[in-house]
Amino acid sequence: MSQWGLAAIITRFGSMEELGYFSLLTAIISPIVLAFSFGARQQALIDTSHAYPSDHYLGARSTVNLFLIAAFIILSFFLEHSALWIALAAIKLTEQTLDVIFALHLRNNNPGSAALYNIARSALSFLPFLTGYLLFGALSSAVILQLVGLSLLTTLAKGYRFVSINSAMSIARKGWPMAAALTVQLLIVNAPKYAASLHNDIEAIGLYTALSYFVVAGSIPLNAFTAILIVKLSKMGYGRHFFVALSKPLVLIWIASAIAIALPEDLYSDVFGIVYGSEAKVDATSIYLIIFIASIDFTNNLLYGALTALSDFKIQFKINALSAITAFFISYFFFYITETPSNTLLSAWLAALLVQTFLISLALLKKKKGTRH
């Protein structure tokens, strides 16, 4: 929810174009950080045998963070707004650490502590960011204060220390296929932003981002549930009970989607205005695109979790790569096909998600068929 709040603050105190720039910069940094996460969060979730102790996961994350922040500082000398670039990079690295802490709490059967961490994370992200805008009226100041807030939270973690290069590389070798798959998955939602930037339409990126956060907000509790589900499915093993456990939340998602479609359009327009300010406008097409996108994205979240529980990361990478390529090319070549360019970006995202759904379903069914033989 904090990310949604950040977008609302930027549009209210800045502009939709400023949100577009912030979102584009984040879309460049996040895949780099995620690529070097080595899937530590997911590794911790499925490491039910405790092959690595908790401090090794956090220590490996700390060691990688040290090298990455040095690389981002060097890159900042060749870029504009270097302070904002470094601060955003540091935030994304800190968030990766918090993701690992969250996963370790779940692995150690402490869901209450995991929930408290998520609440604290949202508060220490949103409140300093808001304070920065209120006091200084500048995006860079807000981001720097957000970094301070999140950094304070990491100091509460036990085992946050550096480990040897050999220990870090051991986790990296095991997790790189997972990290590659997750990175390409992130490109699915970011590919339309890259395409729009080539058309120099930063405002369209801003509106696309503002709408996408309605999906992201719903994904936050679902991601927490999926993390718990991954642990459960990885212990359960592939079979009938596996599919029963997976199908129940899928049914609930589509019941909720049917209810969302039935609600009046004006309700969504009013909510959009309340969140992003009275000057922010959204059309009916955008509203229904977002509802369908949310339905498919939430479905994919659970299906993807099932593949993670089965440790099938190579097929995940292939699926996500095809989906991201679909999103980019539809966005780039059909950018002005609608009166609202942001709707083209949303349509590209929806098309990519449908491709992803089809391919993940095929992969799961193929595994089911192979198990019978």
CA distances from 233 to 52, 253, 306 (A): 20, 19, 7
Q: In this structure, what DSSP letter does residue 53 have?
A: -
Q: What is the mean pLDDT of each run of 10 residues along the chain (373 residues)?
A: 81 88 91 83 74 74 84 84 86 86 78 79 88 88 90 68 61 75 85 90 90 81 75 72 80 88 88 82 86 90 79 78 88 76 88 89 73 48
Q: How many Å apart are CA 129 and CA 146, to the nearest integer?
A: 5
Q: How many Å apart are CA 91 and CA 26, to the nearest integer?
A: 10
Q: How many Å apart are CA 126 and CA 302, to the nearest integer?
A: 27
Residue 158: what pLDDT?
A: 56
Amino acid at 13: F
Of the candidates 62, 24, 44, the residue with the CA atom closest to the CA atom of residue 151: 62
Of the candidates 179, 224, 156, the residue with the CA atom closest to the CA atom of residue 43: 179
Residue 312: what pLDDT?
A: 66
Residue 157: what pLDDT?
A: 61
Residue 373: what pLDDT?
A: 44
Residue 166: what pLDDT?
A: 66
Per the CB < 8 A criterion, the answer to whether 219 and 305 are in contact is no
Residue 316: what pLDDT?
A: 79
